[in-house]
């Protein structure tokens, strides 16, 4: 059996994290949590997840900044980053693109959509170039 | 803790006061600057605030303030009224931004984190070194060359400085033509950088065999390199030796680039070398001396660049006098059929020193000769139409934003260009340049459009114009910026954006062009997204009239 893939869920709202954790664990993923940007970066370095589900609006370092940090990092840059954004505005997507994000889901999260997007991003890993 | 803020009104002022109180920070408020006079903010900076908080202004102002705050080790936070303004704040490098919906508690948290970030990135007791520290932080990582990284380099350089009492640094600065990636693809740029790195390494190895003193080399951030050397010669002879070394290195790299990639690509790069020698001083921390040395050598490289540029102004005048400009045509194909729809004209100088358009136009801008150069390039582009284009194919010409101030351009008629069908000419205007006066700009555009010329917004997605502004310009074409296209096959964010832009374009009867398509997977993806036209290295390279595909 293939190794379980790890997903880091970053959200300052504890309830959101728990919902995502339960859902993703039921799908067979290992879930790591962080409630803010700083912790997320520490966990990333520690656990090297395959994918990060990253909330945009967080106090302190926001999701875009975390994403930029990941994508500019020499060894973390290949981690897939899916932004969880409250808004679907076009300009937000530009911000996401500039931050280097790979995909996004809009809040409130539709779990079926989330599953599709997580799967397509995991499948797209390593295909680049 | 001290916060310097530009006065705001009503709820914003209260929110800030509450946030400052929560942080226990001293709040200093200054009035906005009047037109033409220096903003009181700059005066306030002299009181060493930890953070500066201002309402969003034009990008250039924010960037200027960013430089000033960074030099003083102060964080910069920007109060934004709209998401567009927040994008601008981010582009200017602000540590943090807020929106009207930001609550005082959240504001406090954000300001605190901005200060924290700014503090983390500054060296202790040396606010003036903040900027360079940030810059050299990049040295910590070298993904590219396998050269020693900063900590290692520092350690050895320190040993050397302590052993021989002095250390010479050669800073090798590479300047490349920014459209290189767009035209030749990022793989090509990577290849060029790889062979540059290899050339530097080989040169280093050779020199080290010849003389023990050349100590090491490192890849500095972007595309720059640093040599550390401890020359055995007496100080008065060292300078000559350093110049010889710099010259030999420059020749070596240039020859290698020409050999590996051809003279055309090699000409898109410039190499400038600056040097400095530092002497041991027990009163100053060695690392700081080395940082200072790097900075001085980098500045020296830039002043060499500057001197070269004055020489180039003379070359440019000669180019204009002789009309020594030629054009390469880069095909744009219909995505579905791969048939050639039109060509983008790319100007080059015929003289070797003026080959690169970046140099050509950069020099022209400095020397205030841009109108003359643009006129010559337009003329050349149109001249080649007869031999290179079929009757149904369009010619895309880049228009420099300065051209709109050129009376000869403003009153340009199709017959001035010697063409019968202005509708075959597409004027490309880049989105990168902020168009500040939209109404005036639209008047100019209308005059051209009335004559039959067509328009393209170039580099769409690179700036912050947004779809609304693009719609206002009513272009016939939108050329998507290369950053939207590279790796689009695996980036769903980009796919979504391009899909949105295509459906927007379809609603407004605009055609979308994907630039910089380099791989089959990227092509298949843009095709699947309904992008009408495609331009890129995957299909064709730019070629001179009569030489490329037709």
Determine whether the interchain pair B487/A93 forms a contact, defined as Cβ–Cβ distance below 8 Å. Answer: no
Q: Is the peptide bond before B197 cis (omega within 30 degrees of 0)?
A: no
Q: Along the 550 residues of chain B, how does pLDDT read in single tens digits?
A: 888 888 776 667 778 888 888 887 888 888 877 655 667 788 778 778 889 998 888 888 888 888 888 877 788 888 888 777 777 777 777 887 787 777 888 888 888 877 877 766 543 434 344 445 444 444 444 545 556 666 666 777 787 788 778 888 888 887 766 556 665 666 677 778 778 878 887 887 777 666 655 665 665 555 677 888 776 666 677 778 778 888 888 888 888 888 888 776 777 777 888 888 888 888 878 778 888 888 888 888 888 888 877 788 888 999 999 999 999 999 999 999 999 999 999 999 988 778 778 778 878 887 888 889 999 999 999 998 888 889 899 999 998 877 877 888 888 888 888 888 899 999 998 876 656 677 777 888 888 899 999 999 988 887 656 677 777 788 999 999 888 999 999 999 999 999 999 999 999 999 999 999 999 999 999 999 999 999 998 888 888 876 766 6
Residues of A in contact with B80 (CB under 8 A): none
- Encode pLDDT of B141-166 as tens digits: 454 555 666 666 677 778 778 877 88
d(CA B178, CA B482): 12
The pair of structure tokens assigned to B420 is 């019968």
pTM: 0.60
Q: Which CATH number fits domain B323-544: 3.40.50.2300, 3.40.640.10, 3.30.230.10, 3.20.20.450?
A: 3.20.20.450
Residues of A in contact with B467 (CB under 8 A): 90
d(CA A97, CA A118): 17
Nearest-by-CA chain A residue for B489? A128
pLDDT number for residue B134:
41
Beta carbons within 10 angstroms of residue B264's beta carbon: 14
Q: Which CATH architecture fits B2-121?
A: 3-Layer(aba) Sandwich (3.40)
- Encode pLDDT of B452-491 as tens digits: 999 999 888 876 566 777 777 889 999 998 889 999 999 9
Residues of A in contact with B461 (CB under 8 A): 94, 97
d(CA B185, CA B268): 14
Size of interface A-B (CB pairs under 8 A): 69
Portions of chain B given CATH number 3.40.50.2300: 2-121
Residues of A in contact with B84 (CB under 8 A): 91
d(CA B96, CA B117): 10
d(CA B359, CA A39): 46
Q: A82-114 burial, b for 16+ CB within 10 Å, e for fewer?
A: bbbbeeeebbbbbbbbbbbbbbbbeeebeeeeb
Residues of B with CB under 8 A from a CB of A: 83-84, 86-87, 90, 106, 109-110, 112-113, 117, 141, 143, 461, 466-467, 483-484, 487, 489-494, 496-497, 500, 519, 521
Residue with tokens 């959101």: A16
pLDDT number for residue B196:
81
**pLDDT surpassing 90 at residue A113:** yes
d(CA A99, CA A67): 6
- B449 SS3 class: helix
Residues of B in contact with A90 (CB under 8 A): 466-467, 497, 500
Decide: residue B216, CB within 10 A, 0-12 exposed, 13-18 middle, 19+ buried.
middle
Of B490, B494, B497, the CB nearest to A128: B490
pLDDT number for residue B140:
47
Determine whether the interchain pair A91/B483 forms a contact, defined as Cβ–Cβ distance below 8 Å. Answer: no
Nearest-by-CA chain A residue for B463? A94
Determine whether the interchain pair B490/A101 forms a contact, defined as Cβ–Cβ distance below 8 Å. Answer: no
Determine whether the interchain pair A103/B492 forms a contact, defined as Cβ–Cβ distance below 8 Å. Answer: yes
Ramachandran quadrant class, B392 (left: phi over 0; alpha: psi -120 to 50; beta: rest): alpha
Nearest-by-CA chain B residue for A98? B483
Q: What is the mean predicted confidence (pLDDT) over A102-107?
A: 91
Of A90, A93, A120, which to mutate for an interface test with B (greatest number of B Cβ within 10 Å)? A90
Angstroms from A110 CA to nearest CA on chain B: 17
Residues of A with CB under 8 A from a CB of B: 59-61, 64, 74, 83, 89-98, 101-104, 117, 120-121, 124, 127-129
Beta carbons within 10 angstroms of residue B266's beta carbon: 20
Q: Which CATH architecture fits A6-124?
A: 3-Layer(aba) Sandwich (3.40)
Residues of A in contact with B489 (CB under 8 A): 127-128
Q: Which CATH number fits domain B143-310: 3.30.360.10, 3.40.50.2020, 1.50.10.10, 3.30.70.270?
A: 3.30.70.270
ipTM of the complex: 0.89
- B175 SS3 class: strand
Of A92, A103, A120, the CB nearest to B83: A92
At how many degrees (to 10) do helices B286-322 and B150-164 cross? 110
Decide: residue A123, CB within 10 A, 0-12 exposed, 13-18 middle, 19+ buried.
exposed
d(CA B2, CA B23): 10
Determine whether the interchain pair B117/A124 forms a contact, defined as Cβ–Cβ distance below 8 Å. Answer: no
């Amino acid at each position: 059996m293939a190794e379980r893939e790890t997903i880091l869920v970053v959200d300052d709202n504890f309830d959101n994290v728990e919902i995502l954790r339960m859902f993703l664990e039921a799908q067979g993923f290992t879930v790591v949590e962080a409630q803010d940007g700083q912790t997320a970066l520490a966990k990333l370095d520690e656990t090297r997840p395959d994918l990060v589900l990253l909330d945009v609006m967080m106090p302190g370092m926001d999701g875009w900044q975390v994403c930029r940090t990941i994508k500019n990092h020499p060894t973390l840059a290949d981690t897939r980053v899916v932004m969880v954004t409250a808004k679907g505005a076009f300009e937000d997507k530009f911000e996401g693109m500039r931050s280097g994000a790979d995909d996004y889901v809009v809040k409130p999260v539709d779990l079926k959509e989330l599953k599709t997007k997580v799967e397509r991003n995991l499948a797209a890993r390593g295909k680049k170039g | 803790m001290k916060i310097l803020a530009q006065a705001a009104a009503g709820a914003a002022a209260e929110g800030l006061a509450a946030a400052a109180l929560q942080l226990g920070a001293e709040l200093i408020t200054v009035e906005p600057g009047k037109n033409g006079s220096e903003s009181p903010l700059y005066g306030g900076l002299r009181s060493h605030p930890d953070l500066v908080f201002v309402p969003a202004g034009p990008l250039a102002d924010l960037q200027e303030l960013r430089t000033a705050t960074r030099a003083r080790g102060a964080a910069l936070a920007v109060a934004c009224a709209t998401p567009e303004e927040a994008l601008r704040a981010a582009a200017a490098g602000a540590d943090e931004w807020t929106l009207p919906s930001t609550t005082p508690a959240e504001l406090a948290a954000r300001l605190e984190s901005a200060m924290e970030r700014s503090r983390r990135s500054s060296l202790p007791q040396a606010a003036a070194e903040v900027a360079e520290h940030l810059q050299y932080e990049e040295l910590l990582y070298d993904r590219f060359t396998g050269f020693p990284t900063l900590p290692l380099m520092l350690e050895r350089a320190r040993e050397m400085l302590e052993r021989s009492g002095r250390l010479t640094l050669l800073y090798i600065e590479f300047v490349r033509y920014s459209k290189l990636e767009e035209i030749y693809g990022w793989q090509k740029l990577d290849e060029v950088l790889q062979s540059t790195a290899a050339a530097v390494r080989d040169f280093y190895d050779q020199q080290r065999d010849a003389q023990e003193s050349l100590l090491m080399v490192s890849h500095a951030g972007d595309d720059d390199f640093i040599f550390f050397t401890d020359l055995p010669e007496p100080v008065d002879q060292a300078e000559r030796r350093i110049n010889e070394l710099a010259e030999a290195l420059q020749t070596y790299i240039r020859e290698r680039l020409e050999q590996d990639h051809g003279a055309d690509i090699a000409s898109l790069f410039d190499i400038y070398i600056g040097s400095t020698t530092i002497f041991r001083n027990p009163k100053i921390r060695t690392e700081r001396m080395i940082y200072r040395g790097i900075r001085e050598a980098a500045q020296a490289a830039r002043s060499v660049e500057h001197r070269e540029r004055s020489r180039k102004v003379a070359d440019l005048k000669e180019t204009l006098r002789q009309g020594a400009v030629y054009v390469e045509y880069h095909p744009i194909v219909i995505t579905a059929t791969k048939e050639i729809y039109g060509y983008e004209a790319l100007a080059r100088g015929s003289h070797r020193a003026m080959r690169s358009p970046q140099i050509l136009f950069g020099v022209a801008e400095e020397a205030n000769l841009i109108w003359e150069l643009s006129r010559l390039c337009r003329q050349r582009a149109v001249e080649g139409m007869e031999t290179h284009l079929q009757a149904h194919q369009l010619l895309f010409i880049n228009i420099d934003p300065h051209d709109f101030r050129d009376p000869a351009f403003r009153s340009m008629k199709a017959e001035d260009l010697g063409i019968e069908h202005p509708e075959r000419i597409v004027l490309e205007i880049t989105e990168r340049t902020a168009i500040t006066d939209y109404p005036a700009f639209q008047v100019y555009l209308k005059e051209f459009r009335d004559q039959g010329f067509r328009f393209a917004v170039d580099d769409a997605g690179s700036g912050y114009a947004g779809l609304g502004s693009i719609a206002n310009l009513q272009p016939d074409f939108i050329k998507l910026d290369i950053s939207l296209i590279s790796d689009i096959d695996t980036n769903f964010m980009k796919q979504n954006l391009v899909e949105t832009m295509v459906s927007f374009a379809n609603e407004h009867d605009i055609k979308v062009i994907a630039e910089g398509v380099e791989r089959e997977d990227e092509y298949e993806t843009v095709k699947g997204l309904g992008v009408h036209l495609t331009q890129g290295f995957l299909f064709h390279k730019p070629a001179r009239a009569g030489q490329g595909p037709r």
